[in-house]
Amino acid sequence: MLISKNVRIGRIISGTGRYAALDLLICVAAFLVNEYVVSRYFVFPAVIPTILGTALAFFVGFNNNQSYDRWWEARKIWGAIVNDSRTWARQIIQYTTSSESLSEAELLSLRRIAVKRHIAFLYALKKNLRKSGVSEHDKFIDPEEFAYVEKDMNVPNAILSYQSKLVEDLYKREAIDGFQFMEMNRMVVNFCDEMGKSERIANTVFPTTYNYYTRSFIWIFIISTTMVTANSIGPWSVLFGALVGYVFLTTHSVGQALVNPFEPLPTGVPLDQITRTIEINLLQMLGETDIPEPVQSVDGEYVL
């Protein structure tokens, strides 16, 4: 998530530099082709860039809308994960009581396991979504359980099964009753839903044809703008073709930067920050004192 109000020159250049250079090159080429080839046969018709410009504004707008919607949907899903994580911890801590078959000490231990395992679930899910090689969830579950879940194709899903087993165990040992069982099970169901929704966005490729053709049509538009202006102002047309092209290329790129919101990009959903916030909240609710620091921004520019 970008947090600085102004965009740093470095980011602009790294973000749009490649396109800008290509843009300029294409415009020079378009000018030369117009000068030495096209203009010998006919005058490039001025109506073409106007029509294409309007159409492109629509298609770029469409792409950006869908990209933004994916990004915001991803953010909403992780917002829901924050909420349900707090509710999970709250219910585990407030609604469980010791019973004949469950001593106070065992109960305290089960509470810690349930809350810490949930933190493991979050880190395992983050690892999957970011296709990252780094495991952060190992320290929140015991080694045996870790070894077991790692064998599963879907690690966070395997962790959730342990949570279900724990809820059933609490129920059977009368730490909770049927009503409380329902409420806690509902949280496990929610985590499973939110996990699947995140996977859906991470694994569904935005229709590549949209992206491909929109970009192609922008290049056609740039070439035609250069050729049309070349007829009246000569080599300076390169400037205008490149300028107008830059506006469309950049707007399209800005949208594309949001289309895969779970990738570890500055424009992505800040999973590092969100998981850490939940970790802090949950450890405080457990009454722990060894609380990690919140995630810091990178150069005050973005958080991952």
Window 20-49: residues binding a second copy (CB under 8 A): 41-43, 45-49
Residue identified by tokens 């205008």 is: 240
Stretch that binds a second copy, among 19-27, 124-132, 135-143, 225-233 (CB under 8 A): 225-233
Q: What's the token pair of residue 108?
A: 């305290």
- Which of 2/32 has CB closer to a second copy? 2
Report residue 67: phi and psi, to 5°.
-65, -45
- Which of 107/280 has CB closer to a second copy? 280
Q: Which of 24, 254, 265, 295 binds a second copy (CB under 8 A)?
A: 254
What's the one-letter identity of residue 207?
P
How far apart, in whole angstroms, are the C-alpha atoms of residue 119 and residue 136?
10
Judged by CB under 8 A, does residue 183 bind a second copy? yes
CB 77 to a second copy: min, Å: 10
Cα→Cα distances 201→40, 187, 195, 204, 206, Å: 51, 21, 10, 5, 9
Cα→Cα distances 51→61, 247, 250, Å: 16, 17, 20
Closest by CA position to 148, among listed 137, 140, 159, 139:
159
185-224 residues near a second copy, rule: CB under 8 A: 185, 188-189, 192-193, 195-197, 199-200, 204-205, 207-213, 217, 220
CB 248 to a second copy: min, Å: 7
**In sequence order, which residues have a C-beta less than 8 Å from that of residue 177 and are 6 or more positions away?**
171
**DSSP, res 264:** S
How far apart, in whole angstroms, are the C-alpha atoms of residue 72 and residue 66?
10
CB 216 to a second copy: min, Å: 9
x/- binding map, residues 257-276, to a second copy, per CB under 8 A? Answer: xx--------x---------
Closest by CA position to 81, among listed 177, 160, 178:
160
Q: What's the token pair of residue 1?
A: 């998530």
Stretch that binds a second copy, among 21-29, 98-106, 111-119, 252-260 (CB under 8 A): 252-260
Judged by CB under 8 A, does residue 99 bind a second copy? no
CB 201 to a second copy: min, Å: 9
Closest by CA position to 127, among listed 144, 111, 140, 112:
140
- Which of 142/212 has CB closer to a second copy? 212
x/- binding map, residues 107-146, to a second copy, per CB under 8 A? Answer: ----------------------------------------
Stretch that binds a second copy, among 22-30, 85-93, 107-115, 138-146 (CB under 8 A): 85-93
**In sequence order, which residues have a C-beta less than 8 Å from that of residue 162 and are 6 or more positions away?**
117, 141, 145, 149
> Looking at the chain, which runs of residues are DSSP E strands?
none
- Which of 128/134 has CB closer to a second copy? 128
Judged by CB under 8 A, does residue 179 bind a second copy? yes
Stretch that binds a second copy, among 28-36, 104-112, 115-123, 248-256 (CB under 8 A): 248-256
